[in-house]
Amino acid sequence: MPKHTIDDLIALIPPPAAQPATIDWGPTERRLGFRLPTDYKALADTYGPGVFCDDFLVWTGLPWPDAPVEEAGRRAVAELEPLLEDLSIVTWAHDDGTDTAVDLVGGSFFGWGRSTDGDSGYWHRTGDDPDEWPALITDGVMVCDYHSGGLVSYLYDFWTGGFPNRQVFAGREAPERLTFEQVAVGS
């Protein structure tokens, strides 16, 4: 599947008129001990903290809403642990239309956000190049979407129907109007 870019997402969901605060990614990445995906940094730099379509919250390098990405991402990984204990009940729905058993060989996870329903999003850190990390979205029980194109591609495909076999929010239709609501840090 082709990867969608931040420009594709901007054309679909316009960013806020107010320029978000500038994020210095160097200190964040040093604290994490790894680089973050380019599409994620572009998304955070373009949109800032807030909520997509009253549903998806993507953590940024800023402290709103729960914590900066490094703290919230680590907390999300701890929440994922129970799901990983019994992989026999978990299936990954891939963006290419296939469903497979979970394969954790050669990778770890780090959280990037969550939905207003409590579903969590992760990067599957499958190698040294963060721009190749798939996005994993789970309801925390047994349903997982796995998008090889990464975070921005998942968001784009989620709202345009480009991920037809998705399991998380399987019955949910895209809203009539796709929006982003920016939230000021400290509010």
> How far is CA 176 from each of CA 15, 23, 147, rounded to the nearest angstrom?
17, 31, 24
Q: Which domain holds residue 163?
A: 6-182
CATH of the domain at 56: 3.40.1580
Residue 130 lies in a domain: yes
123 Rama class: left (phi>0) / alpha (psi -120 to 50) / beta: beta
Residue 1 lies in a domain: no
- The DSSP H or E segment spanning 167 is none
Q: Where are the beta strands (DSSP E) in 42-103?
A: 50-52, 56-58, 91-94, 99-101
Query: What pLDDT, on the 0 to 100 scale, is given for residue 163?
Result: 79
Residue 153 lies in a domain: yes
Phi and psi dihedrals of 123, rounded to 5?
-95, 140
Residue type, 134: P
pLDDT in tens, the chain (187 residues): 458 999 999 999 999 998 888 888 998 899 889 999 999 999 999 998 888 988 888 877 665 555 567 677 777 766 766 666 666 666 777 777 777 776 665 568 888 888 888 888 889 898 999 999 999 888 766 678 888 899 999 999 888 888 777 766 666 666 778 999 987 665 4
Query: What pLDDT, on the 0 to 100 scale, is given for residue 66?
Result: 52
Query: pTM of the prediction?
Result: 0.83
Query: What pLDDT, on the 0 to 100 scale, is given for residue 145?
Result: 84
The answer to whether the CB of 30 falls within 8 A of the CB of 36 is no
Residue 172 lies in a domain: yes
Residue 135 lies in a domain: yes
Q: Which residue, among 131, 166, 168, has the nearest Cα to 149 in the 3D structure?
A: 131
Q: How many domains does the chain have?
A: 1
